[in-house]
């Protein structure tokens, strides 16, 4: 009942989109399959860019240019996000006394959904219509630029593209950047790239997936994908156990799995396991009847120190490591 190219429904599903793609403005809105498509009306899933950075910056108007609103919009130009205060002026409507009583402060917290419904009637997106910004003045790098990770495999690039200066009280935590990066040449003692990622049958820490005997049967134990040529340098055989050491002084013991899908300068591990810690089996500590079908070391035990300068999200997908035969 859905077109495979556009995702649009037909027959009984006319007016809907497959999967109900976000954002869905009202209970009758079909969703937005393509963000920022102004060739469709808002009711059909069109929209401009969200206005969330104010109306102007350094004298520059941040709202969309004239004539750049989505198709069939009552306002053909840029406009701010819709609130209870500006809805009548921006949409060119009048609210009843009852609507004014029930309406929420802005479209994000309007549980009455009056703002979204009135916007649909006028063909306007509740979050406004603004310009996309290439210069992000609230970020440390207003225009994106490359910076080497704290634990970089290329010391020459560290000098050319250094990380940020240390940041005090970053979400209540003093966070190291440059001091940690320049502490030593990390690539000398930890010459191998460490990459972690997801397996198709697992998700997150795997607590639910590894409790399913059918999913656990696909990957019954923790492993490390390693190129045979790299493994050979360290005397690591396919199926043998190996140690992985991190710059943080931690280590894990996992089974080597030969794979040519991994280059010679790195290893790959899934991040879905737990139950072992630094070579010790702690699965006996699971409460009775809760031990998963598959247990093993957690890859995050050896992921490297590092935090995003904007969100303080930790670096858990990559880093450096040292390996040896166990």
Do 175 and 205 share a domain, yes or no? no
Do 167 and 202 share a domain, yes or no? no
User: Given this model, what pLDDT does residue 133 score?
Assistant: 81
Q: Count the domains in the chain.
A: 3
Long-range CB contacts for residues 6-10, cutoff 8 Å, separation at least 24:
6/33, 7/33, 8/33
Range of the domain at 172: 146-187
Q: For the full predicted model, state whether its pTM sits above 0.85.
A: no
Do 8 and 120 share a domain, yes or no? yes
Do 321 and 221 share a domain, yes or no? yes
Q: Compute mean pLDDT per 10 residues along the chain, 326 residues long, and list them.
A: 90 90 93 91 93 91 94 96 97 96 96 97 96 88 94 95 96 96 96 96 92 95 98 97 97 98 97 97 95 97 95 93 98
Cβ proximity of 147 and 140 under 8 Å: no
What is the token pair recorded at 326? 């166990």
Do 164 and 237 share a domain, yes or no? no
Do 21 and 107 share a domain, yes or no? yes
Do 70 and 129 share a domain, yes or no? yes
Do 38 and 106 share a domain, yes or no? yes
Do 136 and 205 share a domain, yes or no? no
Name the nearest CA neighbour of 145 among 155, 135, 132.
135
Name the nearest CA neighbour of 60 among 143, 131, 128, 158.
131
Number of H helices, E strands in the chain: 8, 13
User: Given this model, what pLDDT does residue 6 score?
Assistant: 84
User: Given this model, what pLDDT does residue 152 score?
Assistant: 95
Task: Taking the CA atoms of 94, 98, 103 and 105 in sequence, report the sign of the dihedral they define.
Answer: positive
Do 98 and 158 share a domain, yes or no? no
Do 124 and 14 share a domain, yes or no? yes
């Amino acid at each position: 009942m859905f077109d495979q190219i556009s995702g649009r429904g037909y027959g009984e599903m006319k007016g809907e989109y497959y999967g109900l793609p976000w954002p869905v403005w009202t209970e009758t809105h079909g969703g937005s399959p393509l963000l920022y498509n102004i060739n469709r009306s808002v009711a059909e899933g069109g929209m401009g860019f969200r206005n969330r950075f104010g109306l102007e910056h350094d004298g520059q108007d941040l709202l969309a240019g004239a004539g750049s609103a989505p198709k069939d919009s009552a306002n053909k130009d840029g406009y701010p996000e819709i609130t209870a205060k500006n809805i009548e002026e921006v949409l060119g409507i009048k609210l009843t006394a009852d609507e004014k009583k029930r309406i929420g402060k802005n479209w994000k917290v309007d549980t009455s959904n009056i703002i979204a419904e009135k916007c649909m009637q006028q063909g306007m997106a509740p979050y406004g219509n603004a310009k996309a910004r290439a210069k992000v003045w609230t970020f440390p790098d207003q225009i994106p630029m490359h910076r080497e990770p704290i634990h970089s495999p290329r010391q020459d690039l560290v000098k050319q593209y250094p990380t940020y200066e240390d940041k005090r009280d970053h979400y209540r935590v003093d966070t190291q950047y440059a001091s940690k990066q320049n502490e030593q040449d990390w690539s000398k003692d930890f010459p191998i790239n460490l990459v972690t990622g997801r397996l198709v049958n697992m998700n997150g820490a795997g607590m639910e997936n590894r409790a399913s005997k059918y999913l656990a049967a696909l990957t019954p134990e923790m492993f490390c994908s390693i190129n045979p040529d790299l493994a050979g340098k360290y005397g690591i055989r396919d199926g043998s156990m190996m140690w992985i050491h991190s710059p943080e002084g931690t280590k894990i013991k996992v089974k080597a799995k030969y794979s040519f899908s991994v280059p010679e300068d790195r290893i790959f591990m899934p991040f879905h396991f737990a139950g072992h810690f630094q070579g010790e089996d702690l699965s006996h500590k699971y409460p009775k009847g809760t031990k998963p079908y598959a247990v093993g070391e957690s890859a995050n035990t050896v992921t490297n120190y590092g935090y995003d300068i904007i969100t303080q999200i930790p670096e858990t997908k990559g880093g450096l490591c040292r390996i040896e035969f166990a």
